[in-house]
Amino acid sequence: MIFKTFRFFGALRFILLVVVTFVFSVLAGLFLWARYFNWNTDYYLMYLWGRICTSTYGIKRVRLNHLAKQEVGIYVAPHSSFWDILILGSELKGFFVSKAEVVKWPIVGFGAKFVRTVFIDREKGVSALRSISRSAEKIFSTGNSLIMFPEGTRSFEHMRPFKGGAFHIAMMTGKPIIPVMVYYNPRESAVPRIKGNFILDLLKQSVKSWRIVVTVETLPPIKTKDFKNAEELKTHVFYVMEQKYHQSHN
């Protein structure tokens, strides 16, 4: 009986998340005109969407070293869970850089197109980076930042080796890299051990996960002028984040 009750409420909150996501996706499309007046409507929609969805799933947030005034730059964070997007999207004043395939995702892809998500076609290489750099400059001019996952994909492990995209863009634009650490407790409740379809993963979490504490820690900005090239910057940022992770788990 208890298990059936959990399944019922799990299905209910999954449906609520889908409905809320659809509603905010439509609202983002309806408020596209606000960009002509440099209004941050899409940022506030991201904020509300993330807050409502995480509250529905009983996710409690803990902030460490939260910047009083968020600096414009490129936030980089490890990517392990679908929840990273909702949490960081409602904690940081910025917009995501995402792989082009996300456009095809049900509902989420529809909304992502309307909240200034910058899509990257990895097969285009350098030309893709130049295109993102131009889009980034427009976003920076509105006082917003970019949010990127330098691993390029989700994983259960804490961090995989970084790809170079975020660091090339930082060098091209002169904006700082701002590392952000995201810790889930219990990790298994928010992070699937084997990467699969995110909708199926979310369905499982809807039934099993009822109490999750997520800690978001913002590290000091790292200036690009202190490095010779993107590779050197990438190596340093990875080292800083890896050291912070081990300090937090000792």
Q: How many Å apart are CA 149 and CA 85, to the nearest integer?
A: 10
Per-residue pLDDT of the chain (250 residues; tens, 9 = 90+): 544 555 767 778 888 888 888 888 888 888 878 877 777 788 888 888 889 988 888 888 888 876 656 788 999 998 888 888 889 988 888 888 877 666 666 656 666 665 667 776 665 556 667 777 777 888 888 888 899 998 877 776 778 889 888 898 899 889 999 999 998 887 776 676 666 666 677 777 766 666 788 999 999 999 999 898 999 999 999 999 999 888 876 6
Q: Are 49 and 135 in contact (CB under 8 A)?
A: no
List the domains of the chain with CATH numbers. Answer: 2-248 (3.40.1130)
Q: Which of 49, 8, 12 is nearest to 27 (CA)?
A: 49
Q: How many Å apart are CA 152 and CA 115, to the nearest integer?
A: 20
pLDDT at 250: 64
Task: Tell me how far CA of residue 194 lies from CA of 71, 135, 157, 161, 191, in angstroms.
Answer: 35, 33, 10, 18, 9
What is the pairing mode between strands 177-185 and 212-218?
antiparallel
pLDDT at 2: 47
Measured CA angle at 153 (ends 51, 82), to 5 deg: 20
Q: Which of 152, 208, 158, 150 is nearest to 182 (CA)?
A: 158
